[in-house]
């Protein structure tokens, strides 16, 4: 007999790459979002070089923001994000996460004004500077227990210089032992001040109170969470085949 929980866990990383294999760029009411497979670039690269990677980006007017990662070593990536205005680099940031965590950037949402969110990955807590220093008092302040499972980080950014205002981790939580499990964001949308996040969550998605849902069948589960704009609360969380 097939153990669906073990099967879903082993398929997590494979499906993570497949889900992000094609660019999902969506424009809505002046807001643009893009979620795609993460690509590598450095702050020294030209816009032409970064653009040719076909990674996630948002373009509003003459401004383009790209997100990805720098390959630091064979087992370590660090997130990167850069903005170009009229082809001229305005800023580039590579200091959000500089630990041995294998972090990338794979999604953006921007309204063309002061509302900018970035989506990043984390595979565990490591010594040094990571997104925990921005997540104090937010919905999830850390990766949690365990390590290896790839989860997401949502960060509110300043589009004028790339500073992080605040961030929250977004992960699944195993109901049997409380350890962190994989979650990949597939869509972002903005309705007023609320940020709606759609994701594929492995066993098991979290309720608004961060506890594990009760689910049937195998994961990943189609998960929707509605965040307040400051990322302190989830006002609604639901998943197909879960309660």
Single out the residue of 24, 95, 92 nearest to residue 64, CA to CA.
92
Rounded-to-integer distance, Cα 72 and Cα 241, Å: 39
Q: Give the pLDDT confidence score for residue 25 in this predicted structure.
A: 53
Single out the residue of 100, 106, 162 nearest to residue 128, CA to CA.
100
Q: Give the pLDDT confidence score for residue 26 in this predicted structure.
A: 54
Cβ–Cβ under 8 Å, residues 8 and 218: yes
| Token code pair at residue 188 | 């972002």
Q: What is the mean pLDDT of each run of 10 residues along the chain (243 residues)?
A: 42 43 55 98 98 98 98 96 98 98 97 97 96 98 97 98 98 96 98 96 98 97 98 98 98
Q: Which helix (H) or strand (E) holds 184?
A: strand 183-191
Task: Provide the residue ranges of all domains of the chain, joining segments of one domain with +.
Answer: 4-239
Q: Give the pLDDT confidence score for residue 37 in this predicted structure.
A: 97
Q: Give the pLDDT confidence score for residue 28 in this predicted structure.
A: 60
Q: Give the pLDDT confidence score for residue 32 in this predicted structure.
A: 97
HEC per residue, 145-181: CCCCCCEEEEEEECCCCCCEEEEEEECEECCCCCCEE
Q: Give the pLDDT confidence score for residue 17 in this predicted structure.
A: 44
What b/e sequence results for 180-212 when a residue is b if at least 16 CB atoms lie within 10 Å of its CB, and e otherwise? Answer: bbbbbbbebbbeeeebebebbbbbbbbbeeeeb
Cβ–Cβ under 8 Å, residues 64 and 50: no
Q: Which helix (H) or strand (E) holds 156?
A: strand 151-157
Separation in Å, CA 168 to CA 50, 106, 119:
27, 15, 10
CA 37 to chain centre: 11
| Token code pair at residue 153 | 């980080």
């Amino acid at each position: 007999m097939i153990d669906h929980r073990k099967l879903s866990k082993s398929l997590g990383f494979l499906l993570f790459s497949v889900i992000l294999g094609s660019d999902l760029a969506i424009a809505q009411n002046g807001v643009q979002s893009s979620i795609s497979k993460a690509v590598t670039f450095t702050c020294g690269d030209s816009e032409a070089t970064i653009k040719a990677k076909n990674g996630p980006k948002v373009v509003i007017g003459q401004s383009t923001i790209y997100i990805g990662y720098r390959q630091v070593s064979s087992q370590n990536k660090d997130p990167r994000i850069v903005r170009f205005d009229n082809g001229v680099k305005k800023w580039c940031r590579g200091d959000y996460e500089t630990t041995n965590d294998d972090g990338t950037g794979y999604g953006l949402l921007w309204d063309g004004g002061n509302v900018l969110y970035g989506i990043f990955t984390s595979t565990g807590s490591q010594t040094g500077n990571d997104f925990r220093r921005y997540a104090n008092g937010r919905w999830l302040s850390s990766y949690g227990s365990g390590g290896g499972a790839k989860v997401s980080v949502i960060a509110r950014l300043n589009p004028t210089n790339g500073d992080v205002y605040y961030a929250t981790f977004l992960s699944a939580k195993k109901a049997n032992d409380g350890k962190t499990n994989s979650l990949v964001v597939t869509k972002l949308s903005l309705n007023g001040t609320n940020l709606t996040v759609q994701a594929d969550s492995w066993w098991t998605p979290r309720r608004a109170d961060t506890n594990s849902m009760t689910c049937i069948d195998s994961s990943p589960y189609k998960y929707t969470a509605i965040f307040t704009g400051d990322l302190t609360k989830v006002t609604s969380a639901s998943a197909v085949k879960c309660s």
